[in-house]
Amino acid sequence: MDEASAEVQGRVRDSFERQGLMHHLGARLAVIAPGRVHIVLPSRPEVTQQHGYFHAGATSSIADSAGGYAAFTLFPEESSVLTVEYKINLLAPAEGDHLEAVGTVLKSGRTLTVCQLEVFSVQGSRRTLVATGQQTLIQVAARPER
């Protein structure tokens, strides 16, 4: 997998750093490639539910951001990205050392982009698919991020 250009990586990292929720959850960018982004979320009590599994809200949030940033890697410099809709299916209880969300662009258009979302739980060398989904994003031209 090719890495995104230094300029694109910088735009993605700068934008990600402005996301309060990702900071609050403790998520971090792991891979930034053209049309593909991985976000890692370490396990800690603050992101779990009552049974000790990762909370579906945390799982869904990192999936949404991974897809959004995957789309953003293909957008022009003076644009931004917003989620129009997404659907996620939770396939198994998410437990392990961390979660890894992978957003992959399926179709990039002038206005709308569609991404595949996958979330894996990782325990040592074992990766288990725990969620999958699809997302539609909109490219917002000439709207700088704050």
Q: Count the domains in the chain.
A: 1
Q: What is the pLDDT of residue 143?
A: 64
**Domain contains 1:** no
Q: What is the mean pLDDT of the chain?
A: 95
* Mean pLDDT of the 1-24 span: 94
- Out of 43-52, 71-80, 82-91, 135-144, least confident range: 135-144
**Domain contains 146:** no
- Measured CA to CA, the distance from residue 34 to residue 117 in angstroms comes to 15
Which residue range is the domain that position 47 belongs to?
Answer: 6-141
Q: What is the pLDDT of residue 59?
A: 98
Please choose, from the candidates 57, 68, 71, the residue with its C-alpha nearest in 3D space to the C-alpha of residue 99: 57
> What is the band of 145 on the pLDDT scale with cuts at 50, 70, 90?
low
